[in-house]
Amino acid sequence: MYGIIGEDRSDVDTLSVIVKRLAGNDRLPIKKKGYSGSGELLRKGAKQLNAFAAIGCTRLIVCYDADGPEHLPRFNELMRVVVAPSKVPERCCAVIPVYELEAWILADIAAVTKIFTSWLPQPISGIPETIPDPKEHLIRLSKQANGKPRYVNAIHNERVALHLNLDTVYSRCPSFQRLATFVKQGPPQPPP
């Protein structure tokens, strides 16, 4: 059983879908806890990891957006403040999407057409994790003729995650590789 914690419920729900797909098991039991921001995650995360372990979660994932181009400072902070103080750091995978988890959606932007059949966005060239504020980028791309966006992350991320080509996301987003390796192979190594 997995336990997943993150800055908000949307990220945790999206990760849950992705983990089930990576594991090839849509019935994989996953306990989830989304917080109301990074501050709450940092304050309460270690306790929640221990609580998940106490109820039988053998694999734990903590998601903390980099909110910028550098993931290592956030990784180190998450390890120091949440993972290391927990009683189960060897079972944890710290996932740090560069900028935000929405960069993973930009990696396979064609997946949005499964949810919005009239939205046909152009593929994103280059590395999606170099686009500042990928959530806002998706919102801008999704604007209709009347100026209203189709995409709302809290509603659509989980649904889009069902259709992402995970091999494409893996090849285009280095931060995703850590999660995929953890789910498929076991406990992660520190990032380079």
Which pLDDT value is given to residue 146?
A: 86
Q: What is the pLDDT of residue 147?
A: 87
**59 lies in the same domain as 95:** yes
Structure confidence at residue 71 (pLDDT): 92
Distance CA(130)–CA(133), nearest Å, equals: 9
Same domain, 92 and 124: no
Note down pLDDT in tens along the chain; length 192 residues.
Answer: 999 999 999 999 999 999 999 999 999 999 999 999 999 999 999 999 999 999 999 999 999 999 999 999 999 999 999 999 999 999 999 999 999 999 999 999 999 999 999 899 999 998 999 999 999 999 999 998 788 999 999 999 999 999 999 999 999 999 999 999 999 986 544 444
- Two tokens at 147? 């100026």
Residues ≥6 apart with Cβ < 8 Å to 190: 75
Residue 95 shares a structural domain with residue 73 = yes
Give me the pLDDT at residue 192, please: 46
Q: What number of other Cβ atoms are within 10 A of residue 4's Cβ?
A: 26
Rounded to the nearest angstrom, the gap between the alpha carbon of residue 122 and the centroid of all alpha carbons in its chain is: 23
Asked if the structure places residue 111 within a domain, the reply is: yes
**Taking a C-beta distance cutoff of 8 angstroms, is the pair 59, 93 a contact?**
yes
- Put simply, whether the predicted model's pTM sits higher than 0.85 gets the answer yes
74 and 7 in a single domain? The answer is yes
3-state secondary structure (DSSP) of residue 72? helix
Res 145: pLDDT: 79
CA dihedral 42, 104, 91, 79 (to 10 degrees): -40
Are 116 and 138 in the same domain? yes
The Cα 20–Cα 171 span in angstroms is: 19
The two structure tokens encoding residue 109? 């932007």
Same domain (yes/no): 95, 107: no
Helix, strand, or coil (residue 30): strand
Q: 153 in a domain, yes or no? A: yes
Co-location of 149 and 180 in the same domain: no
- Do residue 120 and residue 132 come from a single domain? yes
CB 34 within 8 A of CB 5: yes
Domain count, the chain: 2
Range of the domain at 136: 102-166
C-alpha to C-alpha distance for 167 and 172, rounded to whole angstroms = 9
Beta bridge partners of 61: 4, 93
